[in-house]
Amino acid sequence: MSPTSSPLAPADAPPVADVLIALYIQALRTGRGWTRRDLAASLGRQPHWIADLERARRPATAEDLSTVLLRCGIVDYNIVRGLQAWLMPSPDPHTLTDRAPGGDERLHLFEYSASAIRLCAPSQLPAILRTPAYAQALKNAAGDREEQVSSGSRLLPVCASFLVVLDETVLSELAGSPAVKAEQIAYLQEIVERDEVRLLITPKNAVGFAEQLCELTLYDFDQPLYVVEQGHPTYLNGPPASCHSRHQLITNALEAAADNDHSQRLLTKYLKRFRRQLTGQGAARRDQPHTSAAPGGATAATADLPVPVPSPAASRNR
């Protein structure tokens, strides 16, 4: 399948809660190295019962879900109750916001269940591409604000096609020190060079929407799954009209993006910028006046030394 295209959902797509529960059960089972027969036998069920759950052929009941989750080691009461709440009737069965504990870990598992991923990030570097230091810098920058900042612990999924469309504004507004920024850009270059990700960059603010939007093409389902990440992840599937608008948003962003070579030149440009800032900071520190201990343990600048003027690079980093 071309990374620029993906199937659109049929009109009779199952409710998104059924799809998410199916993916989660499958991920938990395979993560433990169990076959469907293994899990079914431990529950006193037939393998086709597990297969039907994992393909959303039959909706799970609250009791089914609790039994399977507990057998797979999910013993946190809040997680079990939060996932059971997904099964309650909804006025919009094709939209679900995951507010249960462990949402970031579930999203990671869903990404690993995909055969292809198209991700458009116009306002912030996706958690899946962050270095640990950059993830921490984002947390520090968020402070006491209400929005959640992902831990950045999600690993790159193993799939046939992983495409990221990134707005150039994200690169120019990375959080943290110049060292953290330079490390983050170098990491992006590294994963692109290893062919793990196809990364394309659009001109600043060219995408036209603020939310991060991800399209997952799933192995066992005919319809793509869309994920909007703004705090808690929101999942969407459903009839063609609903899916088409989101499919088109990502496709339009892809068409606005620079080609591979130009995108890599942009990464190099920002890496050089942050390394210059880092060099400027080092020079500014070397130029700081010598301080001596004052009475009472305080420090005072040595007299008659001029106050150093920060370099332009250091000034820009303030």
DSSP string for 33-100: T--HHHHHHHHT--HHHHHHHHTTSSPPPHHHHHHHHHHTT---HHHHHHHHGGGS--S-TTEEE--S
pLDDT at 300: 37
Copy the structure tokens of residue 77.
């009461």
CB-CB contact of 228 with 212 (8 Å): yes
Supply the pTM of this predicted model.
0.80
Which residue matches tokens 């001109």? 203
CA separation for the pair 209, 87 (Å, rounded): 31
225 in helix, strand or coil? strand
CA separation for the pair 197, 274 (Å, rounded): 23
- Residue 116's DSSP bridge partners are 161, 217
CB-CB contact of 170 with 121 (8 Å): yes
CA separation for the pair 295, 293 (Å, rounded): 7
Q: Which helix (H) or strand (E) holds 130?
A: none
CB-CB contact of 203 with 168 (8 Å): yes
Q: pLDDT 10s per residue in the chain (318 long)?
A: 444 444 444 557 889 999 999 999 999 999 999 999 999 999 999 999 999 999 999 889 999 999 999 999 999 999 999 999 999 998 999 999 999 999 989 999 999 989 999 999 998 899 899 999 999 999 898 875 545 556 556 788 888 899 999 999 999 999 999 999 999 999 999 999 998 999 999 998 888 888 899 999 998 888 899 999 877 899 999 776 677 888 999 999 999 998 999 999 999 999 999 999 998 876 666 666 655 444 344 433 333 323 333 333 333 333
If one counts every other C-beta atom within 10 angstroms of the C-beta of residue 59, the result is 16
**161-167 and 114-121 beta bridge pairing:** parallel
Q: Which distant-in-sequence residues (6+ apart) come within 8 Å of 175 by Cβ?
A: 134, 137, 138, 140, 141, 181
CB-CB contact of 61 with 17 (8 Å): no
Q: Which distant-in-sequence residues (6+ apart) come within 8 Å of 33 by Cβ?
A: none
Neighbour-count burial of 159, counting CB atoms closer than 10 A to its CB (0-12 exposed, 13-18 middle, 19+ buried): middle
b vs e for 193-202, b when ≥16 Cβ sit within 10 Å of the residue's Cβ?
eeeebebbbb
Sign of the four-CA dihedral 204, 208, 211, 214: negative
